[in-house]
Each structure stands twice: as structure tokens, then as C-alpha cells.
A and B are shown apart, each in its own frame.
Chain A
Amino acid sequence: MSNTLSFVRTEMLPQKTPPASSVGLQGWLRENLFSSVGNSILTLLTLGFLALILSNILPWVLFGIWDAGSLTECRAMFAERYADGREYACWAVVTDRWDQLIFGYSFGNLHEGLYWRPIVGLALILLALSPILYPNLPRGLYIATAASIFLYPWLIWGGSIWGPLTLALCIIAAVFAYRAVAKEVSSLIAIPASLLVLGVLVFFAMSPVSSGLNAVAPIELQPVPSREISGFVLSITIGIVAIVASLPIAVFLALGRQSNLFIVNKLSTGFIEIIRGVPLITLIFVATILLKYFLPSSVNLDPVVAVMVLVTLFTAAYIAEVIRGGLAALPKGQYEAADALGLTYWQAQRQIILPQALKISIPGIVSNFISVFKDTTLVSIVALNDPLGISNAIRSNSDWNGIVWELYGFIAIVFWIFCFSMSRYSMSLERKLQTGHR
């Protein structure tokens, strides 16, 4: 028996190192770039393409001039420094005018020393967003969220602080009115009743109270007219106002579209589909041209505010669809459990449905914010001074007449930094929510 087994190894062989062609840099190259003949050709073609593009763009970017007073000075310096007679980037326009492009005329050149207002405003907004975007942070930060809604417009438009504060007080009063009526009579009557209270307070009590308070304790910032808000501050302000103001509208539209009530459902669906079916530029035309017809002739409409209103409605229709997706994605058991507990419709929405639906809608809302932020460039068509509008104004100055790529490049880079970071955040959140929710 034993002689049939010729040899059995009793100890393990030491592991061999993998062949040199499959590890390290060589292995990586082989696997990822040159795995087959076709792939190798593709790689070489791509490398050639990249080399062609970069060899044309990089010298232009890197050999550019950062300190010059005008385009003619730039050209003189090119001729002086580089013998090849080629033109490179004249980044001097960015050094000269970056403050206008970012802060606009309002906080840039005209009123020196107002930089801090949009900066503090943006910091406030980031602080306000942090508890929503990063749920681990302390809940107390929601106070900052509520405060920033009133403080950001104050920082941008200036004027007396008592205006926004009394508005906040009116809203708080309306909330108390809602609670009181809901407790005493009915939650159904409470909604119109609280809206009535809010309207009465805003129309009749707000301006005397705020001017009275201002007479007692004048806390004022230098007012900035809407027309002077420009540059990236304008883009960011329109974007933030649109998102914040559209969220409540969007929630109601989404609930309306999911509702069983025929008229409510059809009205919400009709509004959403009409807004989504027309280009934003037509709505901006409505804001700047038509809106004054739809209001009593006594109302003096500010074009920037009008654009904000229409952009808000536009955003609301899109976000309503995102939230509807969130509502539809909730498991049916959540709705049934709420019914089984005997909760009323609004109780169920507030305590159970909306917190979950809104949470899974956040990535969609962020991507909507990105597109609204990008779409704010459209206001340059109706002669508001967003960064593109300002770039035209800079170009019409005789110092910088004929400069194009540098300005577009700078604007593009700023937009890109904002949008790319937000989209990365949105993607990471999506990944986190996917594992958390299902």
C-alpha cells in the first residue's frame, strides 16, 4: 500500500512573489492602460490628444501676466518678455477687477469697506446649513438657521435691523395664533386664521413698530439699492433666496400632487407642469416685463426682487418633484402605521412622513440648488449685473477692451469650485443615505 504514494510534501512551500509584470507600476500600467492592442492604441491616442490640448493651453495660462494696468500694458510686456511674439493670458484683469466680479459694484468699488457684509452673510448661511447638512452637529444650531433667514437679507440690503426683526416677531405671533386656535377650535381653521393674523400684523403693525424701535435704538447698516447688488453676491443671493423661499412652497406642492383631493391635486400638478414646461428665461421676462402689469399700479416693483420671486416659483416646481420622489420612495408601511396610530393627516405628515421624505430628498435639493445657482447667469440677459454682466461692463472699459478668455476663465473657475464641491457633498450624502435608509 505505502509504496503507491511516491511523494507527499510535508511542509508548505514559501509563497512566490507575483510575476514582476503584474505588480507595481508596471502591473498597473499593463492592466489599466495596455491590456490589449486596442486599449494600447486608445491610450496612445488619448495621450496625444491630451498633449495637444495641454501644450496649447498650459503655456498661455502659466506665462500670463498678473501685474499690469491695462491690456495694452500686458501686450507691451509680452513683447518685452517673450521673443516668440505670441500672446499669453493677461491675468492682470483678474488682479484688477476680482473684487467687482465677486462682490459686485455694491460691496466692491462704490462703497469701500463693505466686503465684510457678504462675507459674514455667507458664513452665516454656512453655519445655518450645517445642522441640516451634517446631522451630527448640535441641534442648537437650528437657532442660527432661523436667525440667518432674517439676518442675511439685512446684511445684503442694509437698512435698519428692526425691519427683519419685527417681521420675525410677526411670524412668531402667527405661529402662536395657530397653536392657540388649533387647541381651542380646530387645526383646520387655524391655518387660515394664522395667515390672517400674519397678514394683518405685517400690513398694519410692522412698519410703525419697526420705525418706533429704530427711533429708540437705531441699529442700521448703510442701505444698498437692489440694482447695485451684483457679481457673485447677486448670484448667491438669488440662489439662496430661491432655495429657502421655495422649500415651503415645494412641500405644499408635493403634498398637493400626492393628495387624493381632486381639485388640490389638479391645481398642484398644473402649476408644476406649466412651470417645468417653460424655459427660465421666459419667467425672467415675466418678472422684469410683465409682473408690473399684474400688480396694482401703485406698487413700485424692484427688478431684482421680481426676478427672485419668479426664480423662487421656478425652483419650487422642480423641488416639489424631488420631494414627491421622496414621498413616493417611503415604504407604504409608514403611511399605514401613521393611520393605525390614529394620527390626522397633518400630524402624520409632520411627525412621520415629511421628516423621512425630506431627509432622502436632500441630495436632489442640493443638485437643484446647483442648477439654480448656475441658472442665475440668465439674469445677465435682462441687464442685471451677475458676473457675466459685470464681465461685459469690464470689457467696455477702454483699459480692458478686447479681453475675453481671462474673464470667462475666472468666472468659470469660481462657478466650478462652488458647484463641484456641492455636487461632491450631494453624492457623498446620497451614498450615506442609501446605506442608512434601506
Chain B
Amino acid sequence: MSDMTSPPKQSFKFSMLLYDSRYRGITIQIFVLVMVLGSLGWLAGNAATNLAALGKPLRFDFLGDTASYDISQRLIDYKSTDSHGRAVLVGLLNTLLVAFMGCVAATILGVIGGVLRLSNNWLVSRLVAVYVEIFRNIPVLLWIFVCMFTITAIAPQPRDFRGDNATASMLLNDSVAVTNRGIYLPEPLFSRPLGDLNLGIFNMSIELLVLLVVLFGGVYAARWNNARANRIQVETGDRPDTTWANVAIIVVPLLAALLAMGFHIGKPELKGFNFKGGVNMSAPLIGLWLGLTLYTTTYIIEAVRSGIQSVSKGQSEAAFALGLRPGRTMSLVILPQALRVIIPQLISQYLNLTKNSSLAVAIGYMDLVSTLGGITLNQTGREMEAILMLMAIYLTISLLISAGMNWYNTRVKLVER
């Protein structure tokens, strides 16, 4: 009987690697690992042989060479005598710029559109549905081309603004010029400038730094003020009104700082063949931004719609029973709960938009692909390094975005339940 309760000790046999489920997993994993490493090694070996045959060993020192091409749309200082590395940085910032602008615009339009899609006004909800179906089922590259072409074909040329019988005129009190080369916006200028802070890679304007410090100080003080109001409310039951005090705490120091630095607005002016001064958003940037926004908005509309529909009807009925108006019901009751469904879809749309911004290369916006994977690659002939770097940078951006949004997502979840 004792044999029944304690099974006989088995010695290890070679066949157990295949037939014993305890060891089989290890066999399979080792087999897979060997196969994968073998194929990767084969690919890498081929690449090493081929690159050596061409005399192009894997080296990244081309990033230090002179770029010698111009980038008109840029966020940091750059001239054609700078290095390829700096050109890549300019391109990366341009990618991030258009991705950020696109995400913000698509979110705003998408939320508005998603709410309108569920409007009880038949015409409005149909119109949004038609918009979604039209824009979603046509490739985004086509939309980018269409937006780009619309700008270059329909907007007036800079020379149309010239002379006494100009056919085009600037908007908003001569401060905004819409031309087929881009949009020129007024820029903030300071008559008593504080100079720039050299951060090594780029120069940070000290005025902006001062304004940011003042703004954050104001927000921090306003939060302290709110905490004080909470304390008083807990002690006495009366909450002092903080609205105006908070507005004053934030706005007054900001205005004072602006006045002290002599803030004024610099308008773009027509000089020579083009506008000078002001902030320039080049036509490719606007075309790409519009195209990406219009396309991604449709997905966000659907995300918002499904999110709102996922909130049970009882919630809105309860809110109406409490006497909340439809607008307040939406913003206070339904949207906060719908966010749980919306945010994950929003994350993937932000990721898609950022990745789709690589289509900039098709219309000549100098983003990461156009600089690193385009001109730099063609000038230096470093295909392997350039494309691997390109993929690594995009992978990093994607992972960062999804990590950040997932962090936000968990916070939303915790707040809710």
C-alpha cells in the first residue's frame, strides 16, 4: 500500500524532455530560442558582410558631419552649417510639434463631434455620421494631399497682399496673414528683454522661463488658497468665495511680469517677396496638421460615442431627476464615467496620429522621417544607421506615450471606484 501513496522515484530519462510535460516546455523554449537567435544571427551576419563589402561599417559618426541643408520650419535655432545630429533634433521636434497639435485639435473636435453625434437633433447627428464615414474610409495620405493642395491652391500668394489694389488682406487687424506658403501669426516680443539661457542644445528664452515660474507660482498659491477655504469650511461650515481671489492671484502677477518686461505683439509684415516677422506656420505643417486632425477626429468621435453609450441610461435619468441641465449632466455625470471607456481608445488614436505624422515626408514637412530618413540618409548614404535610429526613436516615442496615457488611465480608474 505504501507504494500507492508515494509514487516511485523516476530517474531522468532523455525521452522525458519530449513526453513529460514538466520538461517539455523547456525543450520547446530552447528550440524556439535557438531558431530565433539563429535567424537573427544569420540576418545580422549577412548585414555585416554586405556592409563591410560596401565599406560602410556600422558607425554613427555621420551625425557630427555638416548637414548643409535648410529647414524652414523649426522650433530651435538651426542653420545649414549645423550637424546632421542637430538637423535630426529639429526634425524630431517638428514631429512632436505636429503630433501634439494634432492630438489637441483632434481631441477637441472629437469630443464635440462625439457629443453632437448623439444629439437628439436628427440633422446634426446624421451630418456627423456622414463626416465620420467619409473621412474614415479614405486613406489619410489622400487627406493630407488634399489639405496641402487646398492651402497652396486656394490661399492667396504673398504678392497678392501688396500694393494699393491688393486682392488679399490680412485678418484680425492686420496681424494674421494667410498665404499659400503658410500662415503668419503675431509673435510676442519684449522691449526690455532678459536674454536667452544657453542650455547647450538650444537657447531657452528667459522671458518664457519667468512667465512659466510666475504662472506656476500663481497656480500653487491658488491651490493653497483653496486648501485654506476647505479648512475654513470644515471648521465653520461656511466656504469663503475663492473664485475672484484665485483669478487675481494667477492673473495679476502674470500681467505685472508682462508689463515689466515690456510685452508687445509683433505683427508679420510683407517685406520683399514674403512676410517677415511673426510666427510662421509653413503650408506643409498646416496641411499635415489638418489632414491628420480631420482623419483622427473620426476615430475619436466613434470612441467618444461608444464611451458615452456605455454609460447606463439610469445615470443620465438620475441626473435629470436631480434637476441637472443636459449640459451639466454631460460634463459632470456622463463624461467622467465614459472616460473609462474612452481613454484606452484615445491612447491608441494618439499613437496612430503620431505614427501617421511620418507621412510628412510625402508633402515635404521636415519631420523626423524627412530629415533623418530623407535628406540625411541620401546625403550620407548611411541607410542602416539612419533607418535603425528612425525606428528606435519612433519606438521610444510610442512607448512613452502609451506609458504616460496608461498612467493617466489607471488614475482615472482609481478616482472612479
Q: Interface of A with B (CB < 8 Å)?
A: 32-33, 35, 39, 42-43, 46-47, 50, 186, 188-189, 192, 260-264, 267, 273-274, 276-282, 285-286, 289-290, 292-297, 370, 374-375, 377-378, 380-381, 388, 404-405, 408, 411-412, 415-416, 419-420, 423
Interchain nearest-CB distance for B118 vs A (Å): 13
Chain B residues, CB < 8 A from A33: 121-123
Known contacts A261-B28, A278-B355: does B50 contact A293 (CB below 8 Å)? Answer: yes
- Bound Cα distance from A381 to B362, whole angstroms: 6
Chain B residues, CB < 8 A from A186: 18-19
Are A380 and B141 in contact, with the CB atoms below 8 A? yes
- Bound Cα distance from A350 to B382, whole angstroms: 46
Are A278 and B398 in contact, with the CB atoms below 8 A? yes
Chain B residues, CB < 8 A from A188: 18, 24, 27-28
Are A415 and B139 in contact, with the CB atoms below 8 A? yes
Interchain nearest-CB distance for B402 vs A (Å): 8
Q: Is B108 an interface residue (CB 8 A)?
A: no
Q: Interface of B with A (CB < 8 Å)?
A: 18-19, 24-25, 27-33, 36, 43, 46-47, 49-51, 53, 119-124, 127, 133-134, 136-142, 145-146, 149, 153, 355-356, 358-359, 361-362, 369, 373, 377, 383-384, 387, 390-391, 394-395, 398-399
Chain A residues, CB < 8 A from B133: 420
A-B contact pairs, 17 of them (CB 8 A): A46-B127, A189-B18, A282-B373, A282-B394, A285-B387, A290-B384, A295-B46, A296-B46, A374-B140, A377-B142, A381-B359, A381-B362, A388-B142, A408-B146, A412-B138, A415-B138, A415-B142
Given A188-B24, A263-B33, A423-B136, 10 more A-B residue pairs with CB atoms under 8 Å apart are A32-B122, A263-B29, A279-B369, A281-B369, A293-B46, A293-B50, A295-B46, A381-B362, A405-B149, A419-B138
- Pairs of residues from A and B, 6 with the lowest C-beta to C-beta distance, nearest first: A32-B122, A419-B137, A277-B398, A279-B355, A279-B358, A374-B139
Of the candidates A32, A281, A290, A423, the one whose C-beta lies within 8 Å of that of B121 is A32
Chain B residues, CB < 8 A from A381: 359, 361-362
How many residue pairs link A and B with beta carbons under 8 A? The number is: 146
Are B46 and A281 in contact, with the CB atoms below 8 A? no
Chain B residues, CB < 8 A from A43: 121, 123-124
Are B18 and A47 in contact, with the CB atoms below 8 A? no
Of the candidates B53, B120, B142, B387, the one whose C-beta lies within 8 Å of that of A297 is B53
- Bound Cα distance from A42 to B85, whole angstroms: 52
Are B358 and A46 in contact, with the CB atoms below 8 A? no
- Bound Cα distance from A262 to B145, whole angstroms: 46
Interchain nearest-CB distance for B276 vs A (Å): 30
Residue of A nearest to B142 (CB): A412
Chain A residues, CB < 8 A from B18: 186, 188-189
Chain A residues, CB < 8 A from B139: 374-375, 377, 415
Are A50 and B127 in contact, with the CB atoms below 8 A? yes
Interchain nearest-CB distance for A381 vs B (Å): 5
Interchain nearest-CB distance for A98 vs B (Å): 17
Chain A residues, CB < 8 A from B134: 416
Chain B residues, CB < 8 A from A289: 377, 383, 387
Are B36 and A267 in contact, with the CB atoms below 8 A? yes
User: Per DSSP, are chain B's interface residues mostly helix, strand or loop, or mixed?
Assistant: helix
Are B398 and A261 in contact, with the CB atoms below 8 A? no
Interchain nearest-CB distance for B138 vs A (Å): 5
Residue of B nearest to A423 (CB): B137
- Bound Cα distance from A200 to B374, whole angstroms: 41
Residue of A nearest to B133 (CB): A420
Known contacts A42-B121, A186-B19: does B145 contact A388 (CB below 8 Å)? Answer: yes
Chain A residues, CB < 8 A from B50: 292-293, 297
- Bound Cα distance from A50 to B369, whole angstroms: 38
Are B142 and A411 in contact, with the CB atoms below 8 A? yes
Chain B residues, CB < 8 A from A411: 142
Chain A residues, CB < 8 A from B138: 374, 412, 415-416, 419
Of the candidates A32, A192, A297, A404, the one whose C-beta lies within 8 Å of that of B31 is A192
Known contacts A293-B51, A381-B361, A404-B153: does B121 contact A274 (CB below 8 Å)? Answer: no
- Bound Cα distance from A46 to B127, whole angstroms: 8
Chain B residues, CB < 8 A from A388: 141-142, 145
Chain A residues, CB < 8 A from B31: 192
Of the candidates B27, B32, B395, the one whose C-beta lies within 8 Å of that of A274 is B395
- Bound Cα distance from A378 to B27, whole angstroms: 42
Are A378 and B359 in contact, with the CB atoms below 8 A? yes
Chain B residues, CB < 8 A from A415: 137-139, 142
Are B32 and A267 in contact, with the CB atoms below 8 A? yes
Max count, chain B CB within 10 A of own CB: residue among A267, A377, A415, A419: A377
Of the candidates B53, B137, B373, B394, the one whose C-beta lies within 8 Å of that of A420 is B137
Chain B residues, CB < 8 A from A273: 399
- Bound Cα distance from A227 to B391, whole angstroms: 27
Residue of A nearest to B43 (CB): A294
Residue of B nearest to A40 (CB): B121
Are B359 and A262 in contact, with the CB atoms below 8 A? no
Are B142 and A408 in contact, with the CB atoms below 8 A? yes
Interchain nearest-CB distance for A28 vs B (Å): 8
Residue of A nearest to B31 (CB): A192
Known contacts A293-B47, A293-B50, A294-B46: does B399 contact A277 (CB below 8 Å)? Answer: yes
- Bound Cα distance from A293 to B33, whole angstroms: 23
Chain B residues, CB < 8 A from A35: 120-121
Are A261 and B29 in contact, with the CB atoms below 8 A? yes
- Bound Cα distance from A177 to B140, whole angstroms: 46
- Bound Cα distance from A404 to B136, whole angstroms: 21
Chain B residues, CB < 8 A from A276: 398
Are B25 and A46 in contact, with the CB atoms below 8 A? no
Are A378 and B142 in contact, with the CB atoms below 8 A? no
- Bound Cα distance from A405 to B153, whole angstroms: 11
- Bound Cα distance from A391 to B47, whole angstroms: 36
Residue of A nearest to B360 (CB): A281
Are A264 and B28 in contact, with the CB atoms below 8 A? yes
Of the candidates A46, A370, A412, the one whose C-beta lies within 8 Å of that of B124 is A46
Chain B residues, CB < 8 A from A39: 120-121
Are B121 and A377 in contact, with the CB atoms below 8 A? no
Are A282 and B153 in contact, with the CB atoms below 8 A? no
Chain A residues, CB < 8 A from B51: 293
Chain B residues, CB < 8 A from A42: 119, 121, 123-124
- Bound Cα distance from A321 to B99, whole angstroms: 24
Of the candidates B24, B149, B358, the one whose C-beta lies within 8 Å of that of A281 is B358
Are B383 and A290 in contact, with the CB atoms below 8 A? yes
Interchain nearest-CB distance for B285 vs A (Å): 18
Residue of B nearest to A262 (CB): B29
Known contacts A42-B124, A282-B390, A423-B137: does B395 contact A277 (CB below 8 Å)? Answer: yes
Chain A residues, CB < 8 A from B390: 282, 285
Residue of A nearest to B44 (CB): A294
- Bound Cα distance from A419 to B136, whole angstroms: 9
Max count, chain A CB within 10 A of own CB: residue among B122, B138, B369: B138
Interchain nearest-CB distance for A101 vs B (Å): 13
